Amino acid sequence: MTAVIPGRTLSGVCLPWVMLLLWSLPLSAQAQDLLPAPEQVQVFDTPNDAGQSLTLLWADSLRDGPGVRYQILIAPVADARATAPAVDPAAMEIVAEIPSDSHYVRDRSWPWWTHPAPPAFHRYVINSRSGLELMNDTPYVVTVAAVTGEIRTFGPAIQAVPEPNWVNWNQMNNLLLLLAFGAGVFGSIRTAKRREIFLRRIPGLDAVDEAIGRATELGKPILYLTGAGDMGEPSTIAAAVILGRVSKRVAMYETELIVPHRDPIVMVVCQEITKQSYLEAGKADIFKEDSNFFITTDQFSYTAAVDGIMLRRKPAANFFMGSYFAESLLLTETGASTGAIQIAGTDSDHQLPFFVTTCDYTLIGEELYAASAYLSREPVQVGTLRGQDLGKAVILGVLALGTGLATIGLILDAQWPALLLDLFRDYK
């Protein structure tokens, strides 16, 4: 009988197929001699997807090759309650006709924990598309036919129901690694609370005090930019966090701080952060609400305005933290022409060459995230940094081990290295 299981319909002896087989026996028997029907056919809802899709699997055949093709056929089930809807395969709609030496399971990479069938099996995914709309939670009958010349032999017609899935099991390795990394970070924070952890010097951050001191001596302001990103970007958050530390020292020295913004939400958040810093420094009376101000969201209009501020106000120190694009060099080169000390920190790797060339100090990539820990020395921050380093060590180890295992797997033509390698692959 036909097994109808929402989500996955297993192959089995299919009643309509048996009925049809009996009905068309003489012709079919002849055809079967010339061209065996597809075997071990499975039809099920495509797993790990948003629905409107069915997957068809069938075993490869000795007859696969030039001259033989496969037809994928589908028909909606009129009466969903019927356990064995009788459908004539010959009357079903042809979804696709493919060469018999194509569409294998091995064509796509699968993690071992969701591998659908042996690599040599054929696989065809029927997706909803123009002219063929697959509705979720609606049963369909699907089959595959082998075709050569005028002869067509059908596999069993199997009923299945497309439906959206709640979990993408292919990505579970990703979740596992995230949880492991999170656990590593929390473990490191615990360690950092118990004992002191060594932090290597970051010259760019050592220079923060020097820059603020110089500005104070010269009686000039300090310019701090939080980059082009919005509050959803980690680099902007890191820039805002560093602003908190910098503004506290600026408040202690009673130096003027200028923070022009490209994003109004970032402006509001930074206003709060600087206010808090001035409060903590005991200098709430000299805090200016409009030290943080909005210019425009437009890239080059903002750049022109900040360049203007640099040329008119001649800040003694310029901080460029956060993410940047083509405006980076326009900002830093103008800053360099005014003789300011310039400290940059960005995760925009494509802008690093410009910052390195024109700034006195540059925090490269993750150093931007490390800055907060370096400036505060709080166990939570330092512990997180250690967690990051552990993560990096694991990645380095996996790169070395993975290269070795992949090589061994190729040499020995063995599948077992995949047990480990799959854990670190990106699957969709």
Residues between 309 and 338 with contacts to other proteins, criterion CB under 8 A:
312, 323, 325-326, 329-330, 333, 336-337
Which of 19, 197, 218, 231 binds other proteins (CB under 8 A)? It is: 231
3-class secondary structure, 246: helix
Which of 213, 391, 402, 409 binds other proteins (CB under 8 A)? It is: 391
How far is Cα of residue 270 from the mean position of the Cα atoms in its chain?
29
Min dist. Cβ of residue 173 to other proteins (A): 11
Min dist. Cβ of residue 375 to other proteins (A): 11
DSSP class of 349: G
Q: Which is nearer to other proteins, 34 or 396 (CB)?
A: 396
Which of 85, 244, 315, 322 binds other proteins (CB under 8 A)? It is: 244
Distance between CA atoms of residues 289 and 279, nearest Å: 13
Min dist. Cβ of residue 148 to other proteins (A): 26
Which of 167, 286, 406, 408 binds other proteins (CB under 8 A)? It is: 167
Residue ranges in 114-143 that form contacts with other proteins under rule CB under 8 A: 127-131
Q: Tell whether residue 357 is a contact of other proteins (CB under 8 A).
A: yes
Q: Tell whether residue 397 is a contact of other proteins (CB under 8 A).
A: no
Amino acid at 174: N
Min dist. Cβ of residue 67 to other proteins (A): 25
- CB-based contacts of 360, cutoff 8 Å, min separation 6: 207, 341, 342, 343
Residue ranges in 196-225 that form contacts with other proteins under rule CB under 8 A: none
Distance between CA atoms of residues 141 and 268, nearest Å: 58
Which of 175, 180, 284, 406 binds other proteins (CB under 8 A)? It is: 175
Which of 171, 213, 420, 423 binds other proteins (CB under 8 A)? It is: 171
Sign of CA dihedral 253, 254, 255, 257: positive
Strands 53-58, 122-127: pairing is: antiparallel
From the number of C-beta atoms within 10 Å of its C-beta (0-12, 13-18, 19+), residue 262 rates as buried
Which of 99, 118, 203, 264 binds other proteins (CB under 8 A)? It is: 264
3-class secondary structure, 279: helix
Q: Which stretch binds other proteins (CB under 8 A): 143-151, 202-210, 218-226, 382-390?
A: 382-390
Which of 35, 117, 134, 370 binds other proteins (CB under 8 A)? It is: 370
Amino acid at 27: L
Min dist. Cβ of residue 372 to other proteins (A): 7
Q: Which is nearer to other proteins, 153 or 381 (CB)?
A: 381
How far is Cα of residue 331 from the mean position of the Cα atoms in its chain?
31
Amino acid at 205: L
Q: Tell whether residue 369 is a contact of other proteins (CB under 8 A).
A: yes
Which of 24, 28, 148, 165 binds other proteins (CB under 8 A)? It is: 165
Angle subtended at Cα 376 by Cα 374 and Cα 380, rounded to the nearest 5 degrees: 90
For other proteins, what does the binding mask look like between residues 265 and 304, x meaning CB under 8 A? Answer: x-xxx--xx-xxx-xx---------x-xxxxx-xxxx-xx
Min dist. Cβ of residue 369 to other proteins (A): 3
Contact 134, 17 (CB under 8 A): no
Q: Which is nearer to other proteins, 2 or 274 (CB)?
A: 274
Residue ranges in 61-90 that form contacts with other proteins under rule CB under 8 A: none
Q: Which is nearer to other proteins, 32 or 253 (CB)?
A: 253
Tokens representing residue 331 in the block: 């900002």
Strands 292-294, 257-261: pairing is: parallel
Q: Tell whether residue 365 is a contact of other proteins (CB under 8 A).
A: yes
Number of residues that bind other proteins (CB under 8 A): 95
Tokens representing residue 186 in the block: 């929390």
Distance between CA atoms of residues 404 and 186, nearest Å: 31
Strands of the sheet with 53-58, listed across from one edge: 42-45, 53-58, 122-127
Contact 143, 41 (CB under 8 A): yes
Distance between CA atoms of residues 422 and 23, nearest Å: 48
Min dist. Cβ of residue 281 to other proteins (A): 10
